[in-house]
Amino acid sequence: MDLSIRDITYCKNVGAHRADILRKELKVQTAFDILQQYPFRYVDRSKFYKIADIQDEDTAVQIIGQITEWHPVGIGKAQRISATFNDGSHTCELVWFQGIKYLKLALNTPYLLFGKPSRFNHEWNFVHPELTLMSKVTPEMTQGLEPIYETTEAMKRSGLNSKGMRQIIASLMPDLKQSGVPDTLGMDVLMKNHLMGLSEALVNVHFPKDIASMQRARERLKFEELFYIQLHILRQKKSHEQRVGFPMPIVGRFFNRFYKECLPFELTNAQKRVVKEIHGDLKSGRQMNRLLQGDVGSGKTLVALLCALLAIDNGYQACIMAPTEILANQHLETLTHLLKDMPEVKVALLTGSTTKKQREPLHEGLRSGEINLLIGTHALIEDEVQFANLGLVIIDEQHRFGVKQRSKLWTKNETAPHVLVMTATPIPRTLAMTVHGDLSTSVIDELPPGRKPIQTFHYSILRRRSINEFIRKQIGLGRQIYVVYPLIKENEKLDLQDLENGYNTLCDTFPEYRISMVHGQMKAKDKDAQMQRFASGETQILVATTVIEVGVNVPNASVMIIENAERFGLSQLHQLRGRVGRGADQSFCILLTRTELSKETRQRMDIMVATNDGFRIAEADLQLRGPGDIDGTLQSGLPFDLKIASLATDGQILMQARQAASDILDADPTLEDEYNRIYKRQLNHLRITTGHYSGIS
Ligand code: ADP
Ligand code: MG
């Protein structure tokens, strides 16, 4: 029977009970689904070890030897079996805690032992090793690479450990080899990219002849995953590009007046360029979906305002959506300040703290079109917020917004408004192509003039005394200081305690200064009041959790001290550092950690000290953290899950897959051609089976 419809219950070595567990733990239904549980590594079974050669606990080894004696240890439940295994020159201990009743051990008979060694009392031993009598060892068993599968605790309890999975998958091999499975890629794509067919790849990913065929199999499977993600995204991009958008051809009195009379400084060339790019989209008659990337401090807010003015010039409303209330408030303040000589632009704020009473006139103003520019948080996308003619939506600091939230804006009008997503998180190219592959991109790759690069230092907490002196000196020069503590959700209470202790210590150390404190647990009103005191210069030090990470702008603050820096990821450290270096003064970032650091943490600190370049940091971040640990929002931004491909390391395959997808869509944008049916069908299938993706189309 076709493997793609064969219920796992009826696969060999499964049965009703295990089938339940497999469905629950791995979400698999059919034999074909099981075949898509790829091994995460392989063990070379053609290699034999001697006990004396064992190096570490990480590598499973196989050894030929004999059991010279065995005996029970302990009594009752705690009883275990201990045996001595001799490879001809050395001995080691074998231990069994479970299934003792069924254990049959032949003495002084050659066995093939296979297992992971562990170190105990300076000796190697093996817990629950696989033992096979040499007389029963088949040539296949010691040939090539043995697949190792990831399994869960619940699976292990039902014998579905790596070996159990291997047995199930092995028993599917004869059918797979004989009848195969329908391929999910067309002949043209396979040939052009020198890829294995699907059936061959499935055989070789599980039971490879050799390393070369394993690698080719994995390459093919990775290609397929990335190909369908790209096909999906590029198709969406094409349909966006055809979507009608509000025409905004006019550069009118709002924009011109602001540009000529209110601009506090000359735009950087990069700012000018991206405004032009965006204006090109706005006047095109098609809907804009553009990503604006610019490192922290590159001046995105001003670009946002100029774009909003273009929309207003053309008779539309615009809104700017920020991820936090602090940021929304700050945007309001910055923008009202910039627009202080242009009272004809009506700006309003809507956040979670906006009261019912304030909302009524606000809603009215939005419905009548009297309000031109609305600034706010998530509250903006609530259903009761209706605009007269929303023409442009600007989303700031996108990494806090999921694709779903973005798509909700679409439903506000019949014609979708133009969308500009601004992010300060530089995203490596491969990731950007995947997560934001449906957007066009503009980059502000230049900082406003006169900025001195931030100097970054990494110190252990043993240097605290000299750091305190440094703080004193900087405040003496009229500067202000941030001190940031990590806040990690799982341990919120303890983190808050850290913060409060830090605050108290600072108060004791610097009785002559005033100190503000903000954290996420505070009421928005109190938070704002504290921020305000710092922004106005009333306090010299701001102690905060990462609530200040995003976007806060106090140009006079020139020192960022990050406590427990080892607990922050690279991109977070970079964001935090971006809070300083916004004025003309030399700015500093001090990373404080404990003395003992893991290698990875040390590398992270070194990168921060070495460079201010957000893109370099983002690349390093992806390499260091690996693909499994990419920011949750980014992961959930993927249309389909990745089982085998890695955005961190498979950039080459990704580019190839994107090209293949793009070639197909160029020739046949809607995938109507007979020989492209396969792609359309597979896309639909993926959407149904793995789609946690709301889609933007
Ligand atoms: P971000 O891109 O991180 O949002 P902001 O928009 O907050 O950056 O800008 C950072 C700082 O740079 C602000 O104080 C802003 O007024 C200033 N700024 C922006 N553009 C220019 C420019 N062209 N020349 C000088 N200063 C600028
Ligand atoms: Mg900003």
Rounded CA separation 399/397 (Å): 6
Q: Which residue has the higher pLDDT, 154 or 637?
A: 154
Q: How far apart are the first and last CA of the chain?
A: 37
Q: Which residue has the higher pLDDT, 597 or 403?
A: 597
What does residue 638 show for φ and ψ, rounded to 5 degrees?
-75, 135
253-282+299-423 CATH choice from 3.40.1710.10, 3.40.50.720, 3.40.50.800, 3.40.50.300: 3.40.50.300
Helix (H, G, I), strand (E, B) or coil at 330: helix
User: Considering only CA atoms, which of 681, 568, 679 is closest in space to residue 617?
Assistant: 568
Tens of pLDDT along 532-576? 899 889 999 999 987 665 556 788 999 999 999 998 888 889 988
Residue with CA nearest ligand 1 atom 27: 448
What CATH class does 47-142 carry? mainly beta
Which residues are within 5 Å of ligand 2 (an ion), measured at CB?
551
User: Considering only CA atoms, which of 464, 471, 479, 469 is closest in space to residue 563?
Assistant: 464
Q: Which H/E stretch holds residue 326?
A: helix 325-338
Q: Which H/E stretch holds residue 305?
A: helix 300-313
Q: Which residue has the higher pLDDT, 512 or 435?
A: 512
Looking at the predicted structure, is the pLDDT value of residue 401 above 70?
no
Q: Is 271's C-beta closer than 6 angstroms to any atom of ligand 1?
A: yes
Q: Is 553's C-beta closer than 6 angstroms to any atom of ligand 1?
A: yes
Check residue 633 and give its pLDDT: 45
Rounded CA separation 534/126 (Å): 61
DSSP state of 416: P
694 falls in which pLDDT band (50, 70, 90)?
Answer: very low
Rounded CA separation 457/580 (Å): 14
Q: Is 434's C-beta closer than 6 angstroms to any atom of ligand 1?
A: no
CATH topology of 253-282+299-423 equal to that of 455-611?
yes
Q: Is 159's C-beta closer than 6 angstroms to any atom of ligand 1?
A: no
Q: Closest ligand to 575 CA?
A: 1
- Cβ proximity of 646 and 622 under 8 Å: no
Return the minimum-mean-pLDDT range out of 25-29, 206-210, 357-361, 686-690. 686-690
Amino acid at 483: V
Whole-Å CA distances, 246 to 60, 315, 418, 420, 434? 63, 10, 8, 14, 27
Rounded CA separation 435/440 (Å): 12
Ligand 1 pocket check: which of 553, 556, 576 to mutate, most ligand atoms within 8 Å of Cβ?
A: 553
- Cβ proximity of 394 and 321 under 8 Å: yes
User: Considering only CA atoms, which of 250, 270, 257 is closest in space to residue 446?
Assistant: 270
Q: Closest ligand to 614 CA?
A: 1
CA 448–ligand 1 middle distance (angstroms):
7
Strand order in the sheet with 130-133: 117-120, 123-127, 91-96, 80-86, 61-73, 110-115, 130-133
Q: Which H/E stretch holds residue 356?
A: helix 356-368
Residue with CA nearest ligand 1 atom 5: 299
CA 24–ligand 1 middle distance (angstroms):
51
Which residues have C-beta within 8 Å of that of residue 263, sequence separation ≥ 6? none
Return the minimum-mean-pLDDT range out of 142-151, 481-490, 664-673. 481-490
User: Considering only CA atoms, which of 332, 344, 265, 284 is closest in space to residue 304?
Assistant: 332
Q: Closest ligand to 320 CA?
A: 2
Rounded CA separation 676/196 (Å): 19
Tens of pLDDT along 252-283? 999 999 999 999 999 999 999 999 999 999 99
Kindly state the tokens that stand for 558. Answer: 């020139």
Residue percentage of the chain with pLDDT more than 90? 56
Q: Is 554's C-beta closer than 6 angstroms to any atom of ligand 1?
A: no
137 falls in which pLDDT band (50, 70, 90)?
Answer: confident
- Cβ proximity of 223 and 195 under 8 Å: yes
Q: CA gyration radius for the chain?
A: 31
- Cβ proximity of 592 and 562 under 8 Å: yes
Looking at the predicted structure, is the pLDDT value of residue 695 above 50?
no
User: Considering only CA atoms, which of 368, 335, 360, 362 is closest in space to residue 350?
Assistant: 362
Check residue 353 and give its pLDDT: 87
Looking at the predicted structure, is the pLDDT value of residue 328 above 60?
yes
Check residue 403 and give its pLDDT: 53
Mean pLDDT of 223-240: 90
Rounded CA separation 44/56 (Å): 16
CA 265–ligand 1 middle distance (angstroms):
10
Antiparallel, parallel or unpaired: β 515-518 and 289-294: unpaired
Mean pLDDT of 640-657: 85
User: Considering only CA atoms, which of 271, 270, 297 is closest in space to residue 613?
Assistant: 297
Which ligand 1 atom is at minimum distance from the Cα of 298? 2
Q: Is 267's C-beta closer than 6 angstroms to any atom of ligand 1?
A: yes
Kindly state the tokens that stand for 506. Answer: 């600072």
Q: Is 543's C-beta closer than 6 angstroms to any atom of ligand 1?
A: no
Q: Which residue has the higher pLDDT, 665 or 600?
A: 665
DSSP state letters, 541-596: EEEE-GGGTTT---TTEEEEEETTGGGS-HHHHHHHHTTSS-SSS--EEEEEE-S-
Q: Against a cut of 0.75, is the pTM above it?
A: no
Kindly state the tokens that stand for 272. Answer: 């000018």
Q: Which residue has the higher pLDDT, 399 or 239?
A: 239
CB atoms within 10 A of CB 91: 15
Angle between the N-to-C axes of helices 198-206 and 211-242, in degrees from 0 to 180, rounded to the nearest 10: 130
Looking at the predicted structure, is the pLDDT value of residue 630 above 60?
no
Check residue 594 and give its pLDDT: 93
Q: Which residue has the higher pLDDT, 451 or 363?
A: 363
The residue ranges of every structural domain in the chain are: 47-142, 253-282+299-423, 455-611
Check residue 194 and give its pLDDT: 96
Antiparallel, parallel or unpaired: β 317-321 and 145-148: unpaired
Q: Is 425's C-beta closer than 6 angstroms to any atom of ligand 1?
A: no
User: Considering only CA atoms, which of 152, 128, 145, 113 is closest in space to residue 25?
Assistant: 152
Q: Is 330's C-beta closer than 6 angstroms to any atom of ligand 1?
A: no
Q: Whole-number mean pLDDT of the chain?
A: 88
Q: Is 268's C-beta closer than 6 angstroms to any atom of ligand 1?
A: yes
| Fold annotation for 455-611 | Rossmann fold (3.40.50)
CA 338–ligand 2 middle distance (angstroms):
15
Amino acid at 25: E
Mean pLDDT of 90-112: 89
Kindly state the tokens that stand for 156. Answer: 């292990």
Rounded CA separation 232/349 (Å): 36
Check residue 412 and give its pLDDT: 59
Looking at the predicted structure, is the pLDDT value of residue 662 above 80?
yes
79 falls in which pLDDT band (50, 70, 90)?
Answer: confident
Residue percentage of the chain with pLDDT more than 70? 93
User: Considering only CA atoms, which of 126, 129, 90, 133 is closest in space to residue 108?
Assistant: 133
